[in-house]
Amino acid sequence: QSALTQPASVSGSPGQSITISCTGANTDVGTFNLVSWYQQRPGKAPRLMIYDATERPSGVSNRFSGSKSGSTASLTISGLQAEDEADYYCCSYGGRFNLVFGGGTKLTVL
Amino acid sequence: EAQLVESGGGLVQPGKSLRLSCAASGFTFDDYAMHWVRQVPGKGLEWVAGISWNSGMKGYEDSLRGRFTISRDNTKNALYLQMNNLRLEDTALYYCAKDKYSSYDRGFMDVWGQGTLVTVSS
C-alpha cells in the first residue's frame, strides 16, 4: 500500500500559522477518522500530537490542531515557535488491518 | 511514568534471523495494543506490525508478512519482533510503541521507546 502523501517541506515565521496536508485514498483517510500526527525532532523518538484526526493528547499545546475533509487530513500549527521545528508524520488505518504513514514533512521556522 | 526499552538489535548477515524485545514499565501492559515501527536513518517512519492487548489480532505491513512475526508476553510485560530471512533493506532503527487503545488498528501511538538499530550487512 502506498504511503500517504505529505509535502516534503513547509516553512513559516515565528507567530505565523502553517498547515501540513496528508492525502490518502477512499480506502483509508477517506473512510476512517483514524488519523494521527507525530512530531519528531532530530535524534528523538516520535511524539503523538493529534489522534482521531482532531483530538489532542494531554500535554500537547492547543496551538496544534487537526482536521479532515474527504481523503485529506491536515495539521495546523498556530503561533509558530522555534521549538516547533521538526519533522511531522501523519498515520492512518489502511483499511486492511494495517497502518500506513505519510512520507513526512520537514517544518522550518524561519 | 510509562517507559519502553528496546533491545536485541545489532549487526546481522543477510538471510539470518534476529529477535527484538521491548520491555514495558509504568503502565498496565495488558490493557493496550502495541506496535513496531521502523525508520531508515534519514528517512521516514514505516509501520511494521501491531498486536492487540490479548494477541487476538495481529497486523503486518504487507511486504513483511511471512518474514516478521509480532508477539507479546503479558506476564513479562514484553513485546517481541521475530525477524527471519533478513535483507539489506531491513536495516533501520526499530521502535516499540504503545497504543492509546486495546486494538492496534487505531494506530494512536502515545508512548515510544528510543529504538534499537538493526544493521543487515555481509
pLDDT in tens, A47-75: 999 999 999 999 999 999 999 999 999 99
> Mind listing the pLDDT tens digit for each residue in A76-108?
999 999 999 999 999 999 888 899 999 999 999
A2 at the B interface (CB within 8 A)? no
The series of mean pLDDT values per 10 residues for chain B, 122 residues long, is 97 98 97 97 96 95 94 98 97 97 90 98 96
Q: Residue A2: pLDDT band by 50, 70, 90 thresholds?
A: low
Nearest chain A residue to B100 by CA: give it: A51
A100 at the B interface (CB within 8 A)? yes
Nearest-Cα distance to chain B for A59, in Å, is: 11
pLDDT of residue A1 exceeding 70: no
CA distance B40 to A102: 14
Estimate to the nearest angstrom the gap between the alpha carbon of B32 and the chain centroid.
14
* Residue among B46, B110, B112 whose CB faces A101 most closely: B46
For residue A88, CA distances in Å to A105, A106, B49 come to 5, 6, 21
Residues of A in contact with B35 (CB under 8 A): 99
* Residue among B50, B95, B108 whose CB faces A51 most closely: B108
CB A24 within 8 A of CB A92: yes
Residues of B in contact with A90 (CB under 8 A): none
Interface test with B, best of A20, A90, A99, A101 (most B CBs within 10 A): A99
CA distance B65 to B76: 25
CA distance B116 to A47: 17
What are the φ/ψ torsions at residue A28 (nearest 5 degrees)?
Answer: -130, -90
